[in-house]
Structures are given as C-alpha cells and as structure tokens.
Structure 1
C-alpha cells in the first residue's frame, strides 16, 4: 500500500459517497466553505485504488479527525502520517478502526455514539413555532452561556453566519434556553450535518428541543436532501426525539479526545 495526501475532490467524493450517511461530515467538508481547513490522506492498494481516507480538520478551535474505509489499511496509514498529526485532537472513529488507533493513541476518553440520518423524502415538514427565532451574532454571549451546560459542544461564533441557528428564550427578550444549528451544509454536495442541540437543564421536558429542531430541519431541507447528526448512544431521550422526526440509526462509532500514548501527563 501507499499513503499520500489527496487534493482531488472528485476522487474523495466518489469514495466517500459509497456511504453518504456515514460520511456526511466528510462529504460536507468538500464544500468550498470548509475545504481550505481540511487535510486529507489516503491509503491506496497495489492497484492504486483508494481504500481508506483520513480527514484532519482544523476549522474549529480543536483539530478533528474522521476516518472511513477498510480497517486493514488504517495501521499503515497512521504509521505514514504520524509526523503530521498533533499530540492531542478530537476524533470520530468507527468501532472497527479502534484497534489501530489504540496502537498510537490513548483512547480511554472515547464514548460510544450513534450516527443518525434523515432524508427529505422521510421528513414531515410542519409549521414553524412562533417561539423559535433565528439567532445571529448579537446573540453570541447568550449562546456561549447556554453552551456552558454542554462542554462537548463544537460551537464557533462564525457558524452563525450560516443563518441556520435557531433558539427559544424563556420569555420575550429573555435568555436563550434551547438552541439548534448546523455543523456543515453543502448545497453542492446535497448534504448537511446538524448539531450543537442544547436545552438548558432547567427547561428540559418542555419539547423545546423538538421545536428548534423542527424549525432547523424545515430550513435545511429547503437546501439539501440528506441530513445527519450525532448523538451519545446512552442519551435515550435525545435518540427518541430524533426518531420522532424519522431519523434512523446508521452506525455506531466512538468520539472524544485522544492523545499520543507515549506522552506523559506533564507533556
């Protein structure tokens, strides 16, 4: 096998599109809005066929790695790109890719997650709830305060420029208590990933998450035909909420921070 960096979006798209649901984030990152923040490495077999893709994304405050492909090719790929990888980063790792990762990284903090997907054909659009409002940069301070209740969020203020963040306040002019937005959206590649869905602990059980998610999906499905999201496997209330929207489970994977196994605690 050979390992090399890939800049050919057509090659990447063709490979990742063999499972669009599983690769929703990577496919979305092929869009011009995200591609400059991406470094892609591929593992190729003896016939020079692409067999594995490793994405290193730096468009967030924490670098993120995402994997897809034949697990037999991951050990050689990791061996070939070690000098390029940071000591610590966040990752989305398929379960079958974990053994290779554990040879290089400490993975104890990873937690099991579910990828769920919904197609436009299976979506039931409903009227927007009048309590849900579009959020913008004027709301940044409140949004950051709300996300303090969910430290694992991946919110960055620039994401508000998409116009696809929606929230509910506890009263007119009050504090934002529930929010939903996007991670990636690409009309060119006809795909989106929603996330950063959070409700204040004091306001749960009021269907607020369903209201903001409905509004978000109403708008996102005007632009693309496939939407994905990630949810903790043990977060059963959230899983049930998404299933009510007809999201279906695609696959189980692991998510969290990893660090090089050879590092000491002081490093």
Structure 2
C-alpha cells in the first residue's frame, strides 16, 4: 500500500472532509454530496451509534452509495439495492498509451451528451452536476461525443479517475485506454497519485488498468441503500 494511502480506505469520508469539503451537503458526522452531483455518503466509522445516526439522518427516498474498505452491516430497516465487491487500484508504474485523437475539455454545454453516453455505457453514477468534480475530457466524432472520462474523489495526494466510457459503436479504437492515460497523466503532473475503482468481475478493464501501471491497493465494500419515508 502507498504510505499515504490510508485515507483511501474511506475515500468518500476523507474527500468531503478535505479537498472536496465544499461539496459536502451533509454534516461533519455524516458527509454526502448534493443529489445532482453524486450519490456517495461517508462516515468516519460504522459502529452501532454511527449506523443509528446514518439511518436517522440520510435523506428519505434517495439512494445512497457506500464505498469503503470496512464492510457495513446495514440495518434491516433500510432497503439494500445492491452490494458488490470492488477493487481499488492505484497507479504505481505508469505506462501510458497516447494516440492522435484530440481530447476536448468538457463543459456544461456538453452535459446532455455526457448524460446520454454514461446512461448507455453505465461506468458508474453520473448526474447533471457531476461535472463539478472537474477535469472531464472527451473524444468527438464530428459533433458526437463518443468517449469520455475525468476525475471524481480527491483526498490529499490522490485523485480518482472515473467515468471512463466509450460508445459501443467505437469500441476497438482503444479510446478508454487513451483517456485513462491522459487523465492519469494530468493527475501525475500535479504531483498526485491516480487511483480508481473497478468491479472485481470486469476482467477486460482490469487488464487495461494493469497494463497502464495500476495495481491492486485494497478490496472495497460497495453498497446502495435507501431509506423510505414514513
């Protein structure tokens, strides 16, 4: 493990308490993003008292995503939509792949196309204001956005690469590998370490990450939970 990587064991909590505290729509004890930015929530620990606070204070009828190393025993009063293991990987030996495609910085005018592409490809949660995380770039074919990626969670010394996706019509062009290389490079240029999360079953993606110099850092518990009103 990277010597500074302990904060990555609970990345949502640490991001919303440090670099991205301006995006915290919750409290100091229960941190979460605004509903149009990201669905992630974090707490410092998940003992019985913390779980009670979580259950009492999360917004009703809003799906909240938990992502951390320590598995959470979710109260039976909350609906569990999904639990799945993830791999957290950090870039330790960067081996980029660069191509001749032009990367275009994505701005608010591109949000409709970004929402359409992520809805089609499902790289993870992407909402109307997720672009506020910053540093999203895309490859266009004419006026059509065909691949994109950017940054998401940020803790001191580390930035997460996220929303790497390619339109199905353009698979085989290695655009995801290229975008991942470019986004990782811009993070490294700032003196930070790129990291990412992946489904443990996504073997094609895991192979690409390893070829670009990403290595397994830890297993991550991921869950989607919801509190119903009443």
Aligned to 1:207: 174
Equivalence for 1:57: 32
Q: Provide, for residues 18-61 of structure 1, a one-character-per-residue CA deviation record: whole Å limited to 9, x for no partner.
A: 713323443332225635434232xxxxxxxxxxxxx4313342
Equivalent residue for 1:123?
Answer: 94
1:176 matched to which residue of 2? Answer: 145
- Structure 2 equivalent of residue 92 of structure 1: 66
Give, in whole Å, the separation in 1 of the partners of 2:71 and 2:42.
Answer: 11
Could you say what the CA RMSD is over the residues aligned between the two structures, in angstroms?
Answer: 3.0
What CA distance in whole angstroms lies between the structure 1 residues aligned with 2:182 and 2:96?
Answer: 9
Q: Say yes or no: does 1:195 pair with 2:162.
A: yes
Q: Which has the higher contact order (CA 8 A, sep 6+)?
A: 2
**Aligned counterpart, 1:226:** 193
User: What is the SS of the residue equivalent to 1:37?
Assistant: coil
CA contact (8 A) 2:70 2:221 kept: no
For the structure 1 residues 123 and 65, does the alpha-carbon distance in structure 2 shift closer, same or farther, using more than 3 Å as the test?
A: same
Q: Which residue of 1 aligns with 2:215?
A: 248
2:103 maps to: 132
Contact kept? 1:134, 1:163, Cα under 8 Å: no
CA contact under 8 A between 1:129 and 1:211: conserved in structure 2? no
Asked if structure 2 preserves the Cα contact closer than 8 Å seen for 1:24 and 1:191, the reply is: no
The answer for the alignment partner of 1:31 in structure 2 is 19
For residues 125 and 205 of structure 1, the distance between their equivalents in structure 2, rounded to whole angstroms, comes to 17
The 8 Å contact of residues 148 and 165 in structure 2, kept in 1 or not, is answered as yes
Question: Taking structure 1 as reference, are residues 202 and 175 closer, same or farther at Cα in structure 2, changes over 3 Å only?
Answer: same
Contact 1:67 1:94 in 2 (8 A): no
Q: What's the TM-score once normalised by structure 2's chain length?
A: 0.80
For the structure 1 residues 151 and 127, does the alpha-carbon distance in structure 2 shift closer, same or farther, using more than 3 Å as the test?
closer
Matched positions, count: 224
Question: Residues 259 and 163 (structure 1 numbering): CA distance in 2 closer, same or farther, change over 3 Å?
Answer: closer
SS in 1 for 2:218: strand
Structure 2 CA distance for aligned equivalents of residues 240 and 190 of structure 1: 25
Give yes or no for contact 2:150–2:164 (8 Å, CA) kept in 1: yes
Please list every run of 5 or more consecutive structure 2 residues that lacks an aligned counterpart in the other structure.
Answer: none
Q: Does the C-alpha gap of structure 1 residues 126 and 244 become closer, same or farther in structure 2, counting only changes over 3 Å?
A: closer
Q: CA deviation at 1:133?
A: 2.4
1:90-137 alpha-carbon deviations (Å, 9 max, x no partner): 222446433x21444333522222211125xx3245656443222222
Asked whether the equivalents of residues 25 and 192 of structure 1 are also in contact (C-alpha less than 8 Å), the reply is: no
Contiguous gaps of at least 5 residues in structure 1: 1-16, 42-54
TM-score after normalising by structure 1: 0.70
Is 1:22 matched with 2:9? yes
